[in-house]
Chain A
Amino acid sequence: MGRLKLFLPLLVFMLVLVFFYWMVARIGDGGYNPQSLPSALLNKPVPDFQLPQLEQFQNTLTEQDMQGQIALINIWATWCPSCHVEHSYLNQLASEQGIIIYGVNYKDEAAKALRWLQQKGNPYRFNVFDRAGGLGLDLGVTGAPETYLIDHRGFIRLRYQGPLNERVWQEKFAPLIQQLQSEQQEAAG
């Protein structure tokens, strides 16, 4: 027994090693992102805003244009490399699954953004042109891309920081959307 006690520090060290290795592996495969924060706006309505529409500058959009349906709000910009990666998946969500996506073009140039949509396809119902980043700030955005899931009341229910892909969608979004749909049906019925 006394002998075994001598190995205790080694055992503890091995456990710590396994824990570190596990965390690094989780960061590597995207299971854990130390930079992602819980949103301060969870279960709160989308903040008020009044901004032009990217596609039609004379149009003014407000938070009310986003209300009524379960939808995604996607923060993107042409200067953001991960947004390139994410874009084809957004196209797929919109065209194949019929997901409603509102875009927030964040601190970008309108000409570049419009060219991007022309070249890569446009998955968005409309795009809010947030040149100064004011809406981004009110949403607590720390960078692009970020995606918010809102329910039929226009309340924020999920915030995801980083590019969307199939795995993230199946893990985080799909189950919650099902729940939101049943909430919506209950409210209607």
Chain B
Amino acid sequence: MKSLLVLVLLLFSLPALAVIETYTFNNDVDQRRYQSFVEELRCPKCQNQNLSGSNSPIAADLRGELYRLINEGKSDTEIVQFMLDRYGDFILYRPRFTPQTAILWLAPAILLLSGLVVVVMVLRRRSNSDQLVDLSAAEQQRLQTLLDEDRSDA
């Protein structure tokens, strides 16, 4: 029983926070803004990590910049613009809708639609092949003799 409990407990883990430095803010709102920024901004040197998850030097620099910008009283849009001016759309995990990023936003809808089209086509073909074929009187009679022959053989 005890070992079972241990096993079950092993299934859970606390999220590991890779960030080494800690910034303290004057108020809770700024603290939360910082948290959401480091979660939503992407490390420009890494393939797929946000600022909070990366220990690359550039990610540490950008966390420092965020701390500075927030303390300077910059608004969220100003901070996002600051990052965009330097690193482009890549830095946003939720990119803006622009001609370059349109494919990212539209691809799921396009894929879903094409999936639906395929499903409809398959269903339609299946119901067509299920339809009963009407036999003419001659064919009906031939079928009957075949069946009778079969029965007499057995």
Contact in complex: B58, A142 (CB < 8 Å): yes
* A-B pairs under 8 A by CB, number: 37
B93 proximal to A (CB < 8 A)? no
Q: Looking at the complex, which one of A38, A40, A133 makes contact with B61 (CB distance below 8 Å)? A: A133
Contact in complex: A37, B61 (CB < 8 Å): no
CB distance from B67 to the nearest CB of A (A): 14
CB-defined contacts of B88 to chain A, threshold 8 Å? 37-40, 140
A142 to B58, CA, bound (A): 6
Contact in complex: B61, A139 (CB < 8 Å): no
CB-defined contacts of A138 to chain B, threshold 8 Å? 86
- CB contacts under 8 Å to B, within A1-39, are 34-35, 37-39
Count of interface residues, chain A, beta-carbon cutoff 8 Å: 16
Contact in complex: A34, B47 (CB < 8 Å): yes
CB-defined contacts of B65 to chain A, threshold 8 Å? 137
CB-defined contacts of A35 to chain B, threshold 8 Å? 45, 47
Least CB separation from B58: chain A residue: A142
Provide the B46-63 mask, 1 if CB < 8 A to any CB of A, else 0.
010000000011100110
Contact in complex: A37, B58 (CB < 8 Å): no
CB distance from B54 to the nearest CB of A (A): 11
A81 proximal to B (CB < 8 A)? no
A140 to B90, CA, bound (A): 11
Contact in complex: A37, B47 (CB < 8 Å): no
Q: A133-B61, A137-B61, A137-B65 are in contact. Are A143 and B86 (CB under 8 A)?
A: no
Least CB separation from B62: chain A residue: A137
Q: Looking at the complex, which one of B47, B62, B86, B90 makes contact with A139 (CB distance below 8 Å)? A: B86
By a beta-carbon cutoff of 8 Å, the part of chain A in contact with chain B is 34-35, 37-41, 107, 133, 137-143
> 6 interchain pairs (CB within 8 A)?
A35-B45, A37-B90, A40-B87, A140-B44, A140-B86, A142-B45
Sorted nearest first, the 7 A-B pairs with minimum C-beta distance are A40-B88, A140-B86, A142-B45, A142-B44, A142-B58, A140-B87, A37-B90
